[in-house]
Amino acid sequence: MNTEQMYLLLRDSILRNAHFTAGELDLVMSFFKVRATVKNERLLSRNDICKNLYFVCRGYIRIFNELDNGNDITRFVAFENEFGTAMPSFICQAQSAASIDTPEDSYLLHISHSDFHFLLDSLPQWERIYRINLEKAYIASVQRVEMLTMMSAREGYEFLLSHFPQVVQRLSNKNLASYLGIKQETLSRLKSRR
């Protein structure tokens, strides 16, 4: 994937939700930098302050909570054409409870917190883009709470399959099980039943 293709993906994604003049769009693009990562590369560690918002062109980013026993719990994933980062830390510029990595070789565009806020203050349409992506992330988080509190292992798995099939298809069994809040053996049983 070359740089031009990456910026085209970002441009298309943005224009789907808001109107920008050519000059405004060029301004937005000028703040995004390219980052290519290898499988399992770490982008943020727990307790660091998250300085970047990512747009995924290929691969995906995984936001996860590390546990003291060496395991971790997948909290959020963003795939191609999606924005993502450790949002609470990015928003508050406070230490992050979560870490970020790229489970696949990935091509990302990223914008710094200060450039992001410069755009928020300069372009009302950028606020709209952000708001729409926040809505999506918020809904996914609420559904995650419902999955953890109300749904059986099977219901949670079926919900993911129908609403977020990529999560089921692309996450490792270990990461998917932690996302569902179930044991890996339970997940294997659910998968083999289908």
Binding interface with a copy of itself (CB under 8 A): 65, 67, 73, 75-76, 87-88, 91-92, 97, 124, 127-128, 130-131, 134-135, 137-139, 141-146, 148-150, 178, 181
**Nearest Cα residue to 9 out of 104, 79, 103:** 79
Residues 194 and 185: their CA atoms lie apart, in Å, by 15
Smallest gap from residue 172 Cβ to a copy of itself (A): 17
Q: Is the Cβ of residue 23 or residue 124 nearer to a copy of itself in the bound state?
A: 124
Q: Is the Cβ of residue 22 or residue 150 nearer to a copy of itself in the bound state?
A: 150
Smallest gap from residue 95 Cβ to a copy of itself (A): 14
The answer to whether the CB of 160 falls within 8 A of the CB of 74 is: no
Q: Is the Cβ of residue 42 or residue 131 nearer to a copy of itself in the bound state?
A: 131
Query: In a 3-state reduction of DSSP, which class is residue 79?
Result: coil
Q: Is the Cβ of residue 9 or residue 98 nearer to a copy of itself in the bound state?
A: 98
Smallest gap from residue 67 Cβ to a copy of itself (A): 7
The answer to whether the CB of 10 falls within 8 A of the CB of 32 is: yes
| Stretch (H or E) spanning 5 | helix 3-15
E-only strand ranges, the chain: 33-37, 41-44, 52-58, 61-66, 72-78, 83-84, 99-102, 106-112
Specify the length of the chain in residues: 194
Smallest gap from residue 114 Cβ to a copy of itself (A): 17
The answer to whether the CB of 8 falls within 8 A of the CB of 73 is: no
Smallest gap from residue 139 Cβ to a copy of itself (A): 5
Q: Is the Cβ of residue 107 or residue 179 nearer to a copy of itself in the bound state?
A: 179
